[in-house]
Structure 1
Amino acid sequence: MLLQPWSHSCSAGFTLRGWHTPPSGKPLLHFLHGNGFCGRTYEPLLRLLAADFDLWLCDVQGHGDSDHGGRFHGWNRSAELAVEAFAAGRAAFGAVPCFAVGHSFGGVLTSLMLAQQPQLFQRAVLLDPVLFTPAMIGVMALSDVVGLYRRNSMASKARSRRRQWPDRQAAFAGLHGRGMFKGWCDEALQAYVEHGLKEVEGAVELKCRPSREADIFGSFPKRLWSSLAKVQTPTEVLYGQSTYPFIAGAVARWMALNPHVSSHTLAGGHCFMQEDAETAARRVTAFLLR
């Protein structure tokens, strides 16, 4: 799978970067990663999808090769900036059908993009999107007022995350089978170690600062449920059987609210596509090209 770098100096005053396959006339797939990752972390999945699609991978603010960009501009603005970068780069691919896929945080950003730009994508698949329920958002908003939400357990855990190792081999050994990487196939973890870390003097360190990961865990999208109600693009949500407990309820709620949305569960956890890329790729392709 040949990938070429792209960059876009965005309206928020920093540069977004990512990768795309050379234009070939195939449908174009826009892909957004989860919090703390980058597009190329998903290479086992993307390599399979590249058989049927040209790929556009966008690294969100502070992730992968994109600029840290100062303060986190928020979920909604991040979705707008991803649309902006895609609009600037997609002309090279010609008038092909466009599809969207996003995982976790990137799945929620993709849903916001669908609401903002109803004509942009023909179909979309969201992989285990962290769709906070209205009750959760109420608690977050209330905690936010008193400054507590930024200190939630996910944000605190992210802040204390180890960020440096002597080399990539040590990072692979240290992360293998642990925390969010539990159950990942070796190829997926290798992709994370290869593309999610950068070389610094005498060591390798995370490209995404733990503080930026915590910024995202300590915040939430604005007007999420009114955006979800607006989505007109046929959308399938795929989520892991052993993912976060709130996701199944939120997906069921969205399906009751919006007839354009369907769902399917797959074996595995929140990162099921990193555990079994083949099953995930088959399911994504089947829905998008239906």
Structure 2
Amino acid sequence: MTLLPWSHPSSAGFTLRGWHSAPSGKPLLHFIHGNGFCCRTYEPMLAQLAEHFDLWLCDMQGHGESEHGGAFVGWNRNAELAVEAFTAGRGIFGEVPRYACGHSFGGVLSSLILAEHPELFQRAVLLDPVLFPRRQLLLRHMLGWLLRNPMAEGARNRRRHWPDREAVFERFQGRGIFRGWETAALQAHIQHALRDEPGQGVVLRCEPGREAEVFESWPRGLWQALGRIRTSVRLIHGDHTYPFVRQSAARLAAANAHVSVEQLPGGHCFMQEHSQLTAQRVRAFLLAGE
């Protein structure tokens, strides 16, 4: 899979970057990654999808190749910046069918885009999107910083430097969020989500503080936006994902007839555990209308 870099000086004052495949006339797939990752973390799955789609991969603020950009500008603003960059760059692909896909944080951003720009994509797949329940969002809004946030605390305490990528592989393999990942998926993450730093070995591209800022914030008007989606959406979650993801998926499908739910084996990062199966299911749904 050959990817070409793109960059976009955003209206927020920082540069968004990412990758795209060479235009071939195939349908175009827009992809956004999960918090703390980058788009090329998902290369095993994306390489299989590239046989059927041209790819537009967007690294969000402070992730992957994109600039840190100061304070986190929020979920909704990042979704709009992704649209801004895509609108500026997608002309090279011509008028082909356009589809959206995103994982976790990226799945939520993709859903916000679908709600605000119903004409942009014909179909979409959300991979284990972290659709916070209404009650949790209300508590966050009312109590904010008084609530303990273990995910943010863990991110802020995350180690950032290692002597080399081999040391990172030894540390990550089979642990935490990386438990069960295919070797190729873990290698892709280590290759692209870290950068070489002279005198420091390798360093996480996404600063732990940025990852924590995402965990400490939430999308505005999420469930109102989800109710406005009129694009055909398949929400796929793992059978061992977070309970709230499964519950929110069922609630959304019951409330919005444009959304259907599918379950695959694995946890929150099931697409990194079963890249071939996930690519097959994503492709089957997106191209079902072709």
Question: Normalising by structure 2, what TM-score?
Answer: 0.98
Which residue of the partner structure matches residue 201 of structure 1? 198
Distance 2:19 2:157 in 1: 30
Q: Identical aligned pairs, as a percentage?
A: 60
User: C-alpha offsets along residues 18-64 of structure 1, whole Å, 9 cap, x if unaligned?
Assistant: 00000000000000000000000000000000000000000000000
How far 1:137 sits from its partner (Å)? 0.6
2:167 to 166, 170, 178: 170
Distance 1:162 1:180 in 2: 14
Distance 1:72 1:162 in 2: 20
Structure 2 stretches of 5 or more lacking a match?
Answer: none
Which residue of the partner structure matches residue 159 of structure 1? 156
Show the 5 A alignment for 1:244-259.
244-259=242-257
How far 1:201 sits from its partner (Å)? 1.9
For this pair of structures, how many residues does the alignment match? 287
Show the 5 A alignment for 1:11-22.
11-22=11-22
Q: CA RMSD in A?
A: 0.7
User: C-alpha offsets along residues 151-172 of structure 1, whole Å, 9 cap, x if unaligned?
Assistant: 5110000000111100011111
Structure 1 stretches of 5 or more lacking a match?
Answer: none
Which residue of the partner structure matches residue 185 of structure 1? 182
How far 1:143 sits from its partner (Å)? 2.0
How far 1:138 sits from its partner (Å)? 1.0
Give the residue type in structure 1 aligned to 2:24: S
How far 1:148 sits from its partner (Å)? 2.4
Distance 2:82 2:116 in 1: 11
Q: Which runs of 4+ in 1 moved over 4 A?
A: none
Alignment pair present for 1:267 and 2:265? yes
Any idea what SS the aligned residue of 2:263 has? strand
Any idea what SS the aligned residue of 2:2 has? coil
Structure 1 stretch displaced more, 235-244 or 245-254: 245-254
Any idea what SS the aligned residue of 1:289 has? helix
How far 1:257 sits from its partner (Å)? 1.2
Show the 5 A alignment for 1:67-78.
67-78=67-78
Show the 5 A alignment for 1:10-159.
10-144=10-144, 147-149=145-147, 151-159=148-156
Distance 2:51 2:146 in 1: 46
How far 1:120 sits from its partner (Å)? 0.2
